[in-house]
């Protein structure tokens, strides 16, 4: 399918007589290590740190004060202020602002026991519209009360996407910041009955209405000064009818104000040479021994015995349709009955896929190990132990797991979509290039063919070891991406003097 080209924003180098530090406030529903459900937390937990390391940038983060944060960090939090706001027809709703200095970065938390502090999980309650409407209004009301005046308010996904509209329409007198919206996954848009718009106190604005519903993400796309997404390929894909989830025309309308910037990973948190969560540290110089030792440690950790010289395929993911599990359902019984490999899964999600994977383990107890849930230490150990990492995604805006897998020398087997195209170069046996294996069509037998090809190459040790070395040498850290974001921020700021081209 021919994809339309995205109008790339032209990053113009500029000089200013006095370089004013750019103040950036990231607003998110998740941020590692405070709260993590998915990859959003990893991005917001890493990008601000990398931006802060660049010159002339003061970067801070604000997020909800969840129960998990209170349980772990409550004694370290300091209260800045508290006040009350109106929330639609609800009057005098409490807002607290707490803060913590963590790894040389200031974090702020919106405190409200009803909406966040008393709930065991992060999402999936019946009042999501009200909860995150409250959060966004509370953020806007909080900014004059914290010792930080942002030039850029950078919001992430639907949970915060109404903020650009609020800044323009409701708080234009008090908030002078420019806004950036990053779409991490267009499939999740924050769609609610149109009547919920009354909570925001913005009536009859077509910006937030879409097909008779309130659509948080659509409002952000139209109101933000710049819209980004998490890889260049995904930026092209979501302009099409197939990937656009109904918002493709809205995105096209932004023209040069919509761009793709590839995510990165923290090379501090994901470093097999220094990772404290794995049993045996290693580098590209001794990965063979390192992988073998970590396989043995994994066996002890989970009680799953498998030959350390046989290929181990890892899968660490949310167990949802997007991640390509329908392809696994279609052919893994056949493959496990005839092909010589072992399979380990860590994740949780939809009941259908959890039951299938547990059943697969029941049918092949000596070949398959499935752990339902999430365990950060076990995830790291799987990356360090596995020889291959499976990501047959139906769509993948960016994907971080394949970058982590590369870093640990676990060779990705991916479907060619989104950020997987931008990060994985298929192995070419004639030119001896590539850092992984890939297939084009969302087809189970295409995936089976590529896995079998990878298993064949695995037996050719010279070729396989060369792939692993190339994989571990790849650089998908945040450095280059953070520089692109900082240039984008600068171009949005008023009174920036640019050089003549």
Write the pLDDT tens digit of every residue in 429-482.
Answer: 999 999 999 999 999 999 999 999 999 999 999 999 999 999 999 999 999 999
How many domains are there within the chain?
A: 2
CATH of the domain at 316: 3.40.50.2000
pLDDT band at 4 (very low <50, low <70, confident <90, very high): low
- Look at residue 191 and tell me if it is in a domain: yes
What is the pLDDT at residue 44?
97
Element of type H or E holding 210: strand 209-210
What percent of the chain shows pLDDT beyond 90? 90
Angle between helices 39-53 and 479-492 (to 10 degrees): 70
Q: Are 401 and 391 in contact (CB under 8 A)?
A: yes
Instruction: Identify whether residues 246 and 298 lie together within a single domain.
Output: no
Instruction: Identify whether residues 186 and 41 lie together within a single domain.
Output: yes
Q: Which whole number is the average pLDDT over 402-418?
A: 98
pLDDT band at 499 (very low <50, low <70, confident <90, very high): very low
Q: CB within 8 A of 494, min separation 6: which ones?
A: none
What percent of the chain shows pLDDT beyond 70? 95
Closest Cα to residue 492, out of 178, 254, 260, 25?
178
Average pLDDT of the chain to the nearest whole number = 94
Instruction: Identify whether residues 487 and 463 lie together within a single domain.
Output: no
Instruction: Identify whether residues 151 and 108 lie together within a single domain.
Output: yes
Instruction: Identify whether residues 341 and 371 lie together within a single domain.
Output: yes
Instruction: Identify whether residues 259 and 306 lie together within a single domain.
Output: no
Instruction: Identify whether residues 321 and 256 lie together within a single domain.
Output: no
Cβ–Cβ contacts within 10 Å for residue 165, how many? 23
- Look at residue 396 and tell me if it is in a domain: yes
- Look at residue 439 and tell me if it is in a domain: yes
Rounded Cα gap, residues 292 and 282, in angstroms: 11
Q: Are 46 and 58 in contact (CB under 8 A)?
A: no
- Look at residue 280 and tell me if it is in a domain: no
- For residue 501, is pLDDT > 60? no
Rounded Cα gap, residues 501 and 499, in angstroms: 6
Q: Which of 14-28, 184-198, 315-329 has the lowest mean pLDDT?
A: 14-28
Instruction: Identify whether residues 468 and 485 lie together within a single domain.
Output: no
pLDDT band at 15 (very low <50, low <70, confident <90, very high): very low
What is the pLDDT at residue 12?
40
What is the pLDDT at residue 495?
63
- Look at residue 500 and tell me if it is in a domain: no
Burial of 55 (0-12, 13-18, 19+ CB in 10 A): exposed
Instruction: Identify whether residues 436 and 363 lie together within a single domain.
Output: yes
- For residue 165, is pLDDT > 80? yes
Q: Are 186 and 243 in contact (CB under 8 A)?
A: yes
- Look at residue 334 and tell me if it is in a domain: yes
Sheet strands side by side (includes 57-64): 78-87, 90-102, 105-111, 57-64, 22-27, 152-156, 178-183, 226-229, 258-260
Instruction: Identify whether residues 228 and 213 lie together within a single domain.
Output: yes
Instruction: Identify whether residues 259 and 296 lie together within a single domain.
Output: no
- Look at residue 459 and tell me if it is in a domain: yes
- Look at residue 390 and tell me if it is in a domain: yes
Q: Which whole number is the average pLDDT over 142-163?
A: 97
Instruction: Identify whether residues 255 and 345 lie together within a single domain.
Output: no
What is the pLDDT at residue 346?
97
- For residue 388, is pLDDT > 50? yes
What is the pLDDT at residue 111?
98
Task: Name the residue range of residue 259's domain.
Answer: 22-264+479-492
Q: Are 267 and 448 in contact (CB under 8 A)?
A: no
Rounded Cα gap, residues 425 and 402, in angstroms: 12
> Which DSSP letter does residue 428 get?
B
What is the pLDDT at residue 493?
87
What is the pLDDT at residue 270?
95
pLDDT digits 0-9 by tens, 217-262: 999 999 999 999 999 999 999 999 999 999 999 999 999 999 999 9
Rounded Cα gap, residues 271 and 83, in angstroms: 43
């Amino acid at each position: 399918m021919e994809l339309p080209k995205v109008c790339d924003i032209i990053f113009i180098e500029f000089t200013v007589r006095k370089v004013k530090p750019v103040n950036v406030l990231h607003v998110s529903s998740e941020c590692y290590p405070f709260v993590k459900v998915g990859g959003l937390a990893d991005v917001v937990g890493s990008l601000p740190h990398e931006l802060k390391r660049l010159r002339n940038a003061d970067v801070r983060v604000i997020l909800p004060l969840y129960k998990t944060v209170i349980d772990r960090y409550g004694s370290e939090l300091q209260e800045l202020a508290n006040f009350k706001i109106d929330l639609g027809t609800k009057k005098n709703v409490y807002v607290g602002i707490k803060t913590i200095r963590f790894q040389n970065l200031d974090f702020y938390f919106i405190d409200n026991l009803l909406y966040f502090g008393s709930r065991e999980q992060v999402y999936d309650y019946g009042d999501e519209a009200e909860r995150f409407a409250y959060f966004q209004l509370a953020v806007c009301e909080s900014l004059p009360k914290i010792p930080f005046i942002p030039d850029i308010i950078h919001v992430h996904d639907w949970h915060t996407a109404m903020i650009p509209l609020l800044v323009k329409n409701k708080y234009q007198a008090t908030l002078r910041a420019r806004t950036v919206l990053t779409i991490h996954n267009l499939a999740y848009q924050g769609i609610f009955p149109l009547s919920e718009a009354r909570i925001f106190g913005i009536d009859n604005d077509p910006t937030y209405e879409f097909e008779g519903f309130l659509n948080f993400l659509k409002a952000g796309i139209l109101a933000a000064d710049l819209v980004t997404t998490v890889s260049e390929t995904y930026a092209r894909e979501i302009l099409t009818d197939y990937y656009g989830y109904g918002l493709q025309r809205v995105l096209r309308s932004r023209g040069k104000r919509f761009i793709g910037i590839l995510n990165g990973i923290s090379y501090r948190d994901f470093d097999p040479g220094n990772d404290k969560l794995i049993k045996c540290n290693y580098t590209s110089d001794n990965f063979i021994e390192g992988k073998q030792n970590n396989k043995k440690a994994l066996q002890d950790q989970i009680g799953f015995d498998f030959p350390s010289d046989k290929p181990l395929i890892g899968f660490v993911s949310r167990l949802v349709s997007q991640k390509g599990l329908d392809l696994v359902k279609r052919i893994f019984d056949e493959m496990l009955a005839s092909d010589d490999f072992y399979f380990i899964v860590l994740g949780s999600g939809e009941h259908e896929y959890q039951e299938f994977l547990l059943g697969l383990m029941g049918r092949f107890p000596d070949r398959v190990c499935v752990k339902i849930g999430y365990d950060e230490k076990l995830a790291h150990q799987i990356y360090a132990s596995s020889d291959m990492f499976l990501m047959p995604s139906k769509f993948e805006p960016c994907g971080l797991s394949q970058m982590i897998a590369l870093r640990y020398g676990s060779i990705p087997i991916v479907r060619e979509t989104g950020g997987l195209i931008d990060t994985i170069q298929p192995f070419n046996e004639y030119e001896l290039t590539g850092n992984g294996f890939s297939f084009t069509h969302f087809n189970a037998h295409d995936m089976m063919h590529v896995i079998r090809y990878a298993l064949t190459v695995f037996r050719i040790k010279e070729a396989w070891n060369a792939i692993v070395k190339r994989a571990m040498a790849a650089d998908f850290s945040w450095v280059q991406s953070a520089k692109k974001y900082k240039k984008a921020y600068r171009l949005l700021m008023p009174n920036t003097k640019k050089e003549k081209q």
